[in-house]
Amino acid sequence: MEGGQPLVYFDNAATTQKPKQVIEAMNSYYENTNSNVHRAVHTLAGEATEGYEMARTEVAAYFGAPRDHLIFTSGTTEAINLVAYGWARANLSKGDVILTTEMEHHADIVPWQILSKERGIEIRYIPLERDTLTLDMEAFEIGVQEASLVCVVHTSNVLGVRNDVERIIELSKTTGKKGSGAFVMIDAAQAAPHERINFVELGCDFMALSSHKMGGPTGIGGLFVKPEIMETMIPFISGGDMIETVTLEGSTFQKGPQKFEAGTPRIAEAFGWHASVKWLSKFDMKMVHEHVSNLAKMTAKKMSSIPGIRIYGRHDLNTCSGVVSFLHDSIHAEDLAHLLDSGGFAVRTGHHCAQPLMEALGVSSTARVSFWIYNTVEESDAFIDYLTSIVEKFG
Amino acid sequence: MEGGQPLVYFDNAATTQKPKQVIEAMNSYYENTNSNVHRAVHTLAGEATEGYEMARTEVAAYFGAPRDHLIFTSGTTEAINLVAYGWARANLSKGDVILTTEMEHHADIVPWQILSKERGIEIRYIPLERDTLTLDMEAFEIGVQEASLVCVVHTSNVLGVRNDVERIIELSKTTGKKGSGAFVMIDAAQAAPHERINFVELGCDFMALSSHKMGGPTGIGGLFVKPEIMETMIPFISGGDMIETVTLEGSTFQKGPQKFEAGTPRIAEAFGWHASVKWLSKFDMKMVHEHVSNLAKMTAKKMSSIPGIRIYGRHDLNTCSGVVSFLHDSIHAEDLAHLLDSGGFAVRTGHHCAQPLMEALGVSSTARVSFWIYNTVEESDAFIDYLTSIVEKFG
Amino acid sequence: MNEWPPPLQEIINEFKDCFDRMERYELLFEYATKLPHELQAKDWTEENRVKGCQSEAHVECTLDENGGFQLHGAADANLVQGLIAILAIGVNGLPPSEVALINPEFVDEMDVKASLTPSRANGFMNMFEMIRQTAKIMSKEV
Amino acid sequence: MNEWPPPLQEIINEFKDCFDRMERYELLFEYATKLPHELQAKDWTEENRVKGCQSEAHVECTLDENGGFQLHGAADANLVQGLIAILAIGVNGLPPSEVALINPEFVDEMDVKASLTPSRANGFMNMFEMIRQTAKIMSKEV
Ligand SMILES: Cc1ncc(COP(=O)(O)O)c(C=O)c1O
Ligand SMILES: Cc1ncc(COP(=O)(O)O)c(C=O)c1O
């Protein structure tokens, strides 16, 4: 920063900083193990393959699932696209309804819109209750009865609200699709850094997430899929490594996650993600949640007493995550972010890839601070002081 | 290795080792610049975005193209899939013919087979001349006249043969699709580490490649596309960052490469790839080619005088790359690779993701050594000695 | 070294005298209030919208009775509006042919570009291009 | 510590006495030629193919007149065939119920697993499972 000012990083919902163990794991891969995987018998290739597959085992285990439940993707976005291309295109057709919400990230909207346009599948959106800023669960109870696929964000990247995914899954399974049960996709991108999720216990069919939001590297993420459902999926990205045999007439495919991992995979990235879950395993995630959630609650509370600041979110709920979205009555969000940046506070502004939610909130953008493990009360206090001075000067 | 034996890495066609500049560039990103891109106004985000977009500029420039020609993907495989999903699905239909070859990597076969099955588009394969191990250009001249899209590997990952892509593109443009000109996709995965390719001069419409085969990190690659053709492409992977506006009714998309880069991109990987082209720029690629090609020629020549060894490839041609495929009459390829590995030589064996080519060669697999910049004549000599001793013992 | 129209040069000097980024922002905010021809929100159209800005920004160009260039504009973010104002103060009244030649680097000299994101910088560049293109056309018409 | 059938233990000891990996490979090659019941290529079927091997490998199990387990097999790679041979020599004649309980870790003790790739190791594990499953079924039928 200008003048060597220290940086306070409050943009963790966009991407987290990486612990040194993660950087070291990737360095060690590149320096000692670098080799392509699955394809050769030499020692390095064996070590690389073992490390890559061990990453699958350990990342899957961190989320309470056996290794054959986890397909590596480049992130949440590709994971949701894999559900759309690999599963929905093979299992849904005209007349089916995809139920999602107004609270979704674009990653959980646009793929369905494209599918809908192509296949005539209908999308319906559960609204946000304008007063409580939570999903309208009564509307969900009715809507789910017609739904074949339910796609819901676990924890909002704007409001910090955690949806009652347990109930959503329960309702989908028991009353979905006229009682025969709906499939459920959970966008866990913002949940994974905040709580320990057990995919198998959760009971959804698909769960998408990104490594880079939980201390891991960019370029990798995953889709968890129940194996019996994985079997009903068609190939998405195709090429080497995902095939069993290729002839000029046609090809047959691998079974399990490999069917969906074509080409040279994200090898170093898998080593890095593995290191990040190993690092996270050392924390009690209940305490991490409490720490981060408390920072958000405390910050939101103090901010709301700054004149003109308006908070968007429910920081009275215990389940709230580390996100505080806010606006000032007269200072534009973008100006706010610039001004805060000049004080060394990295704060995000914009529509947060959630334009329909912005629409529901009646704004075009918000400023957002988001905390993680390493943020402190002191940083929050300094932020409040600086924000106060900005509001005094520019408000 | 067992007993601290030094490792000789001869599996460069699978993936290359990484220069320290590349590892350092990624470390420096993670330690100093780590932030999400395109989305925030704070300083770190600005630096990350600038670095990410600078990587696009510089990687594109290395391949002789303006920055708006380059879409980042996770590698060659995803790049070819992007042509299949993003371009071919929007621009080809029943009755169109995709012309490819028997020499392709599965990445350039399977996506077309899937498309063909879905849309009734026909695939035709130009055969390999069995005696010269090069493409049957007479068959190409005839075949191209019916073709709407021509997909050809620039340099084979098995034979080390470089196709006459200039002539292939010329013929496609002038005589393709009954004279109206065919579109051309070049798989440059194996070419990029060997020669300096100028995308604009080459004149093809699409060019796919992988960072990890040219000294860069895993998890990133690119598709070069002529801008006027990029405009005719529909979104493939969709979500955040590739949209202009999202409403519940539908979305509009970005222009240019960003339309095809949904979600958090491969940020650290872009920094790494940038560092690898910067590193490669310091070399005279003509001399790199000569060095690597000479190693292959010399090794092939010496190997062919080892009893029972049979070489697959054309190491008499000046254009040959650093790949030598071989078999022994009585030692199975896989046994060979294990035995060589016990001497510290990392050699690949298998079908090399080119089963149709294996079929054409009349084998089910080959062993393969592949060289790059850092390999030496001494390593090749040691390899020949060791291979000779293995053949004496086990042949 | 670029040469700037004197009114623009004057503003640049003012920014150079600032102590830090915060002071430069204060100055930008101040200029935002000095925009000579503010484009009323009712006149914001898709046509005059600047693409690539995170926030809304609109600009229009006209000629005054003497054939001098006049920039009209507005933005919902003050820092953007400040930039528009500076540009307007800097170029208003000049012959369009001169406006068409102005270099966007004055923003670097003011040292506010460092505080623009690439997407903002992009928006700014887009705005700048809109203005230069119009000035070019105007200078041919004159 | 695992306990192995004496003929298998003997082979393991032989491998343990090897000086290095090359010597262990030589020994594996030697065993490849000692496969008791080689499955002729004409009898290689999709049914008896071992999945997950990079090379072709086939195994079948039968019972001899005394109800003893008999492993038949073959592979086109010698190192794989060597492993099949060792397993056959190690378990042939045993009651299937005992074969069903054998632990694949003998390969670790022989220290050849380090030289198997995960995909090969996988193939080996698949073969091993085929054999154990068949032995289990046989032991119930007896
Ligand atoms: C000629 C060729 N094409 C495509 C590929 C696929 O590249 P990637 O695995 O990086 O997607 C490879 C590498 O394996 C190759 O050699
Ligand atoms: C809730 C939610 N879903 C999906 C995404 C997309 O994740 P990625 O950009 O890593 O693909 C994000 C992050 O931006 C998110 O916050």
Could D76 and B332 be called an inter-chain contact, meaning their C-beta atoms sit closer than 8 Å? yes
> Quick one: which atom of ligand 2 is closest to the CA of A74?
11
* Complete DSSP assignment for C80-129: HHHHHHHHHHHHTTS-HHHHTT--TTHHHHTT-GGGS-HHHHHHHHHHHH
B362 interfacial to chain D (CB closer than 8 Å): no
Ligand 1 geometric centre to CA of A83 (Å): 25
Q: Report the residue of chain C nearest B255, measured CA to CA.
A: C52
Q: Is B180 found in the same domain as B45?
A: yes
Count the Cβ atoms, other than its own, within 10 Å of residue A126: 26
Higher model confidence: residue B287 or residue D41? B287
For residue B222, the model assigns a pLDDT of: 98
List the single best residue of B335, B341, B394 to mutate versus D (max D Cβ within 10 A): B335
C21 contacts on A by Cβ (under 8 Å) = 2, 342
Higher model confidence: residue B324 or residue C43? B324
Instruction: Tell me the pLDDT band of B57, cut-offs 50, 70 and 90.
Output: very high
Q: Is A70 found in the same domain as A129?
A: yes
Q: For residue B7, is it within any domain?
A: no
Residues A319 and A132: their CA atoms lie apart, in Å, by: 14
Residues B97 and B145: their CA atoms lie apart, in Å, by: 10
Q: What is the CATH number of the domain that holds A335?
A: 3.90.1150.10
For residue A352, the model assigns a pLDDT of: 94
Could A349 and C54 be called an inter-chain contact, meaning their C-beta atoms sit closer than 8 Å? yes
Could A339 and C22 be called an inter-chain contact, meaning their C-beta atoms sit closer than 8 Å? yes
Q: Is B354 found in the same domain as B289?
A: yes
Q: What is the mean pLDDT of residues D49-66?
A: 84
For residue C51, the model assigns a pLDDT of: 75
Q: Give the relative orientation of helices B333-342 and D78-91 as an angle to the nearest 10 degrees.
A: 90
Tens-place pLDDT, residues B194-237? 999 999 999 999 999 999 999 999 999 999 999 999 999 999 99
Q: Is B311 found in the same domain as B196?
A: no
Of A284-288, B140-144, C122-126, minimum mean pLDDT range: C122-126
Q: Report the residue of chain A nearest D120, measured CA to CA.
A: A41
- For ligand 2, residues with CB inside 6 Å are A 75-77, 105, 107, 153, 157, 187, 189-190, 210, 221, 353; B 240, 263-264
Query: Ligand 1, residues B12, B73, B76: which to mutate, most atoms within 8 A of Cβ?
Result: B76
Determine the distance in angstroms separating the CA of D104 from the nearest CA of chain B, rounded to an integer. 21
Q: Is A217 found in the same domain as A293?
A: no
Q: Is B262 found in the same domain as B327?
A: no
CB pairs under 8 A between A and C: 41
Q: What is the CATH number of the domain that holds B192?
A: 3.40.640.10
Could C118 and B40 be called an inter-chain contact, meaning their C-beta atoms sit closer than 8 Å? no
Q: For residue A15, is it within any domain?
A: no
Closest-CA residue, ligand 1 atom 15, reads B189
DSSP category for residue B234: P
Instruction: Tell me the pLDDT band of D110, cut-offs 50, 70 and 90.
Output: confident
Closest-CA residue, ligand 1 atom 12, reads B189
Query: Ligand 1, residues B82, B186, B190: which to mutate, most atoms within 8 A of Cβ?
Result: B190
- Give the C-alpha distances (Å, rounded to integers) separating D46 from A58, A250, D4, D41, D77: 34, 19, 31, 12, 18
Query: Ligand 2, residues A73, A112, A213, A220: which to mutate, most atoms within 8 A of Cβ?
Result: A213
Instruction: At A174, list the tokens.
Output: 């028991």
Tens-place pLDDT, residues C89-142? 998 999 999 999 888 788 888 887 655 554 445 677 788 888 888 999 998 875
Q: Is A246 found in the same domain as A159?
A: yes
Q: For residue A2, is it within any domain?
A: no
Q: For residue B202, is it within any domain?
A: yes
Q: Which amino acid is at B197?
A: I
Query: Exposed e or buried b for every residue in A52-90, given b needs 16+ CB within 10 A?
Result: bbebbebbbebbebebbbbbbbbbbbbbbbbbbbbbbbe
Q: What is the mean pLDDT of residues C9-32?
A: 91
Tens-place pLDDT, residues A39-63? 677 888 888 998 999 999 999 999 9
Of B25-34, B58-67, D44-53, D116-125, minimum mean pLDDT range: D116-125
> How high is the ipTM of this complex?
0.92
Q: Is B179 found in the same domain as B195?
A: yes
B125 contacts on A by Cβ (under 8 Å) = 248
Q: What strands, in cross-sheet order, belong to the sheet with A122-126?
A: A70-73, A221-225, A206-210, A183-187, A149-153, A97-101, A122-126
Q: Is B163 found in the same domain as B214?
A: yes
For residue D52, the model assigns a pLDDT of: 66
The set of catalytic residues of A is 353
Q: For residue B105, is it within any domain?
A: yes
DSSP category for residue C38: E
Residues 14-53 of A with CB under 8 A from D: 38, 40-41, 45-46, 49-50, 53
Q: Is A375 found in the same domain as A349?
A: yes
For residue A45, the model assigns a pLDDT of: 87
Query: Ligand 1, residues B197, B353, B366: which to mutate, most atoms within 8 A of Cβ?
Result: B353
Q: How many structural domains compose chain A?
A: 2
Q: What is the mean pLDDT of residues B300-306?
A: 96
Residues B161 and C39: their CA atoms lie apart, in Å, by: 64
Count the Cβ atoms, other than its own, within 10 Å of residue B248: 17
Q: Which amino acid is at A347?
A: V
Q: What is the mean pLDDT of residues A302-316?
A: 96
Residues 50-89 of A with CB under 8 A from D: 50, 53
Residues 16-55 of C with CB under 8 A from B: 54
Q: Is B27 found in the same domain as B100?
A: yes
Q: Is B291 found in the same domain as B270?
A: no
Q: Are A347 and A337 in contact (CB under 8 A)?
A: yes
Q: What is the mean pLDDT of residues B285-306?
A: 97
Give the percent of chain A with pLDDT over 90. Answer: 90
Could A240 and B78 be called an inter-chain contact, meaning their C-beta atoms sit closer than 8 Å? no
Residues A65 and D62: their CA atoms lie apart, in Å, by: 38
Select from A246, A280, A314 the last residue of a domain.
A280
Instruction: At B75, list the tokens.
Output: 């590698």
Q: What is the mean pLDDT of residues B25-32?
A: 95
**Chain D: touching chains (3 or more CB pairs < 8 Å):** A, B
Q: Is D53 known to be catalytic? A: yes
Could D54 and A41 be called an inter-chain contact, meaning their C-beta atoms sit closer than 8 Å? yes
Contacts of A75 (CB under 8 A, 6+ apart): A210, A211, A212, A218, A219, A220, A221, B263, B264
Select from B221, B245, B280 the last residue of a domain.
B280
Select from A231, A251, A280 the last residue of a domain.
A280
Q: What is the mean pLDDT of residues B164-185?
A: 97
Residues 93-132 of D with CB under 8 A from B: 114-115, 120
Instruction: At A333, list the tokens.
Output: 């969000």
Q: For residue B8, is it within any domain?
A: no
For residue B2, the model assigns a pLDDT of: 47
Establish how many alpha carbons lie within 13 A of residue A214's alpha carbon, considering only the half-sphere containing its beta carbon: 35
Contacts of A344 (CB under 8 A, 6+ apart): A1, A5, A6, A7, A8
D21 contacts on B by Cβ (under 8 Å) = 2, 342
B180 interfacial to chain A (CB closer than 8 Å): no
How far, in whole angstroms, is CA A225 from its chain's centroid? 15
Reported in sequence order, the residue ranges of chain B that DSSP labels E, i.e. its strands, are 8-9, 70-73, 97-101, 122-126, 149-153, 183-187, 206-210, 221-225, 243-246, 251-253, 309-312, 323-328, 345-346, 348-350, 366-370
For residue B1, the model assigns a pLDDT of: 42
Rg from Cα positions in chain C: 14
B233 contacts on A by Cβ (under 8 Å) = none
Maximum alpha-carbon separation in chain B:
72
Helix, strand or coil for residue D95? coil
Could D54 and B349 be called an inter-chain contact, meaning their C-beta atoms sit closer than 8 Å? yes
Q: Are D69 and D91 in contact (CB under 8 A)?
A: yes
| Residue A2 scores a pLDDT above 70 | no
* Complete DSSP assignment for D46-94: STTBPTT-SS-EEEEEEE-TTS-EEEEEEESSHHHHHHHHHHHHHHTTS
Look at chain C and count its residues.
142
Could B50 and C118 be called an inter-chain contact, meaning their C-beta atoms sit closer than 8 Å? yes
| Residue A272 scores a pLDDT above 90 | yes
Q: Are B325 and B159 in contact (CB under 8 A)?
A: yes
Query: Exposed e or buried b for every residue in A186-196, given b needs 16+ CB within 10 A?
Result: bbbbbbbbbbb
Q: What is the mean pLDDT of residues A240-248?
A: 89
Place of tokens 């995914």: A165
State the average pLDDT for chain A.
Answer: 95
Chains C and D make contact, 3+ CB pairs within 8 Å: no
Q: For residue A289, is it within any domain?
A: yes
CB pairs under 8 A between A and B: 284
Domain span holding position A346: 285-394
Could A40 and D120 be called an inter-chain contact, meaning their C-beta atoms sit closer than 8 Å? no
Domains and CATH numbers, chain C: 6-141 (3.90.1010.10)
Could C54 and A331 be called an inter-chain contact, meaning their C-beta atoms sit closer than 8 Å? no
Determine the distance in angstroms separating the CA of A362 from the nearest CA of chain C, rounded to an integer. 15
Nearest to B373 by CA among B273, B282, B270: B282
- Give the C-alpha distances (Å, rounded to integers) separating A381 from A343, A378, A394: 13, 5, 20
DSSP category for residue C45: -
Instruction: Tell me the pLDDT band of A1, cut-offs 50, 70 and 90.
Output: very low
Instruction: Tell me the pLDDT band of C52, cut-offs 50, 70 and 90.
Output: low
A241 contacts on B by Cβ (under 8 Å) = 353
Q: For residue A3, is it within any domain?
A: no
Tens-place pLDDT, residues A160-177? 999 999 999 999 999 999
B235 interfacial to chain D (CB closer than 8 Å): no
Helix, strand or coil for residue B266? coil
